[in-house]
Structure 1
Amino acid sequence: MAKDVEFEFDIVVSLPKGAGDEDAIMDALFEAGCDDAVVGLGASGLVGLGFTRGGEDAEVVISNAVKQVLSALPEGAQLREVKPDLVSLADVADRLSVSRQALQKRDMPPPSLGGLYRASEMLPVLEAQPGKVRDALEAARGWFASAAAAQKINARASLGQS
């Protein structure tokens, strides 16, 4: 039997014009079971939710969260992105509580797009690093454990298959 893992991920959804007020959105998310999310409504037309949820399979856990979120939001809301997928060295450094320069001094996988890296490719490389970088991985394991599933879900969403 597989062991439950705590997955850390963010879901970003675009809202249709005139999607209602923030209180109504927050209430609907709470009623849909997203009471464990940290919700951000700061960017006009977008809602971001940060989750830490346990399960055996990241793709199932994240997909279920996406369904919950979309069921709570007004018709026309669309999944924009699941994070972590493409990340900067600053994103990774922040998760590891190390400096970006500490990562720049080490061998990293090749960037994928505009200096961004696939989070799913970072963990094995970081595990091979000596010292503070490797030692800091334990606190970020749930984030890295979500990366491959986020990448798959984003690919399906970009193809209109979400």
Structure 2
Amino acid sequence: MEYVFTLKYQLPDENQAHEQVVEHLFEAGCDDATIGVGQPGRIALAFRREAPDAWSAIYTALRDVKQAIASARLVEAGPDFVGLTDVAELAGVTRQNMRKLMLAHASRFPLPVHEGNPSVWHLADVLAWLTNRGDYAISADLIDMAKAAKQVNLAKEAREIEPRFNRQLTSLVS
């Protein structure tokens, strides 16, 4: 099965020669990624990776990037963080329709990761909610990849929590 996802990284100062970074990535097995180097100190890899499941696809890509650029720091895995417009596009409806759904089902609609203008959700949460409604044909591969990307991003953030706070917060945030 082919899985489509993106990994974004921050590069250390010593890895600013993009041609060399691209070469290392290719040698490490990232030849199935389109590499973007438009922002200084950052690199984005848009993968189309063959794997038995979404988790294997994203895990092997993370491993390959780490092998190529050991000091690169993961910024974000995607598809994960989305606004209503993104979800509407993936679900095949208008943004206005998504907004109406969100407002009509406010107590059951997934909680945003960030509430504001714009609000941001984990794609996996919204796709699961839409799928449970039964009205939307969402690709199982997309749902699996969104779940895998969400887990990577949550793990990345969780490693930064001080253990003492983690124990104290666990019971309060559920």
Aligned equivalent of 1:33, options 29, 50, 54 = 29
Assess if the C-alpha contact under 8 Å between 1:7 and 1:145 holds in 2: no
Query: Cα deviation per residue 1:94-142 (whole Å; 9 max; x = unaligned)?
Result: 3345432231122442323221112111223223264xxx24x34xx43
| Contact map agreement 1:106 1:129 (CA 8 A) in 2 | no
Q: Counterpart of 1:94 in structure 2: which amino acid?
A: E
Residue 56 of structure 2 aligns with an amino acid whose one-letter code is: V
Runs of 4+ that moved beyond 3 A: 94-98
Structure 1 distance, partners of 2:76, 2:67, is 16
Count matched residues. 150
TM-score by length of 1: 0.78
Q: Does 1:86 align with 2:81?
A: yes
Question: Structure 1 vs Structure 2: percent identity of aligned residues?
Answer: 31
1:118 to 113, 116, 122: 122
Gaps of 5+ in 1: none
How far apart, CA to CA, are the structure 2 residues paired with 1:25 and 1:98?
Answer: 39
Could you say which residue in structure 2 is the equivalent of 1:66? 62
The change in CA–CA distance for 1:110 and 1:159 in structure 2 (over 3 A counts) is: closer
1:18, distance to aligned residue in structure 2 (A): 3.4
Larger radius of gyration: 2
- Structure with greater contact order relative to length (CA < 8 Å, sep ≥ 6): 1
TM-score computed with the length of structure 2 as normaliser:
0.74
Kept in 2: contact 1:13–1:48 (CA 8 A): yes
